[in-house]
Amino acid sequence: MEQFEVVGGTRLAGEATVAGAKNSVLKVMAASLLATGTTRLTNVPDIGDVPIMGEVLGGLGATVDGDAPDIAITVPDEIGYEADYHHVSRIRGSVCVLGPLLARAGRARVAMPGGDAIGSRTLDLHIMGLERLGAVFDTANTHGYLVAEAAQLAGAQIWLDFPSVGATENILMAAVLAKGNTSIDNAAREPEIVDLCEMLIAMGAQIGGVGTSTLEIEGVDSLQPASHRVVADRIVAGTWAFAAGMTQGEIRVRGATHEHLEIALDKLVQAGAVVTTYDDGFAVSCDARPRAVDIVTLPYPGFPTDLQPMAIAMNSVADGVAFVTENIFEGRFMFIDELARLGADVRTDGHHAIVRGRERLSGAPVRATDIRAGAALVLAGVVADGVTTIADAFHVDRGYQSFVETLQALGANIRRVEDSTLL
């Protein structure tokens, strides 16, 4: 097991280049199952989740060739239908093979992903939507698996109680090959959903309302493989934006789409940073202690839950008191106990947190509980006095390409070391 060791007290300055989005690449990899032949993906991030998703696809009969940033996925005429627990429990995102399997194989046996450190993530909306399309779920003796069959999917009108990203994706990937028309109301409209729609359209799917909360899908008989460039990772880009804000630094982020981060960048402006936008990204600079900013997480285009830990970390060294409300995942405050080990003054009540900014944090050993919490704790370590170690580095490696190297290039004193407490 590896951990990050950070010696705090540095200002981060320089450039960071962002690759394709984790939350998009996993879905477009799953979408490749919808067509026989070779799909080519570019701007694929070099992160831990991609080879695991490759193994999931391999288990279904596909072949994944090449390495990030370019991979090719070759899908045979007949595909398997089972995604096992070993893989699905490692990346919950792999549950997005459910829709493609029902559409292509007419049946699916996908392990239930199980618990998660950011809170309960039920699949009721995925199941409801797929049932509306005609899938029949087995509920008895399924031994921890979602088991479903669909001789022929048929278009339907579907309303989502909540604009779930994963449910929208699974329903969408099933509906593109269903017979007739489907509409998904209150659909999620994250940039990663738009990216998936663009890939499906390139494969021959008929989708209207892309980027809105009503998706209209006209089912087609078959799809062809396509070439697709994965959309930039707005959460990684946003991480570097908060890194500049909280270290009173200056970071030029390349390869990002600033329009996907409007609220997050505006929060940095409210905190006192200067944000400059460019065609290929943006720059954030902050020459004084940031001011506290209130945050409310919401589905896109609201403030992303995945950047909430970075916002709390910045507020923990900001001037003033911030009120942070987490509306998406109830367990997302779990990392606050770790941040408190660095001296952060954060009190929570349910899904609300009050963050009282401190002049400085003080280095201590902490543990990453998930990808984003891990990245936020590293940033907190960069502004803390002394040495901070962040255990369970693998969480961060699941979603951040060249994380340590990027931070080193920005001036951070960070290295990757073996976790000696485990030796």
Rounded to whole angstroms, how far apart are CA atoms 45 and 177? 28
Residue choice 8, 93, 155, 309 for contact with ligand UD1 (CB under 6 A) = 93
Instruction: Report if residue 306 touches ligand UD1, rule: CB under 6 A.
Output: yes
Nearest residue (CB) to ligand UD1, 98 versus 384: 98
If the CB atoms of residues 120 and 420 are measured against ligand UD1, the closer one turns out to be 120
Annotate 120-159 with three-state secondary structure. Answer: CCCCHHHHHHHHHCCCEEECCCCCCEEEEECCCCECCEEE
Q: Alpha helices, DSSP H only, in 222-323?
A: 234-246, 262-270, 308-315
| Shortest spacing between CB 211 and ligand UD1, in angstroms | 16
In whole angstroms, the minimum distance from the beta carbon of 331 to ligand UD1 comes to 9
Say which residue the tokens 């309960």 belong to: 120
Closer residue to ligand UD1, CB minimum distance, 3 or 164: 164
Sign of the dihedral through C-alpha 249, 252, 256, 262: positive
Rounded to the nearest whole angstrom, what is the least distance from the CB of residue 163 to ligand UD1 in the complex? 7
Between 78 and 262, CB nearer to ligand UD1: 262
Determine, following the binding rule CB under 6 A, whether residue 43 of this chain makes contact with ligand UD1.
Answer: no
Shortest separation between residue 70's beta carbon and ligand UD1, angstroms: 22
Q: What x/- string results for residues 275 through 294 when contact with ligand UD1 is judged by CB under 6 A?
A: --------------------
Residue 94 binds to ligand UD1 (criterion: CB under 6 A): no
Decide: 324 and 315 in contact? Cβ < 8 Å.
yes
Within 8 A by CB and 6+ apart from 183, the residues are 157, 158, 214, 215, 216, 217
Counting contacts by CB under 6 A, is residue 23 touching ligand UD1?
Answer: yes
For residue 26, the minimal CB distance to ligand UD1 (Å) is 6
Nearest to ligand UD1 of 109, 189 (CB atom): 189
Per the listing, tokens 């509409």 go with 183
Q: Does 312 bind ligand UD1 (CB under 6 A)?
A: no
Nearest CA among 394, 416, 395, 421 for reference residue 405:
416
Q: Is 306 a catalytic residue?
A: no
Position closest to ligand UD1 via CB: 166
Determine which one of 46, 70, 77, 116 is catalytic.
116
Site string for ligand UD1, 97-136 (x = CB under 6 A): -----------------------xxxxxxx----------
Binding string, residues 197-216; x marks residues near ligand UD1 by CB under 6 A: --------------------
CA 197, CA 202: separation in Å to the nearest integer? 9
Burial of 237 (0-12, 13-18, 19+ CB in 10 A): buried
Q: How crowded is residue 129: how many other Cβ atoms within 10 Å of its Cβ?
A: 26
Site string for ligand UD1, 163-192 (x = CB under 6 A): -xxxx--------------------x----
Torsion of CA 245, 283, 23, 183, to 10 degrees: 110
Position among 108, 172, 328, 390 found at the interface with ligand UD1 (CB under 6 A): 328
What is the torsional sign of CA 334, 340, 344, 347? positive
Residues 6+ away with beta carbon under 8 Å from 372:
235, 239, 306, 307, 308, 309, 310, 399
- Site residues, ligand UD1 (CB under 6 A): 23, 26, 93, 120-126, 162, 164-167, 188, 305-306, 328-329
Instruction: List, by residue number, the catalytic residues.
Output: 116
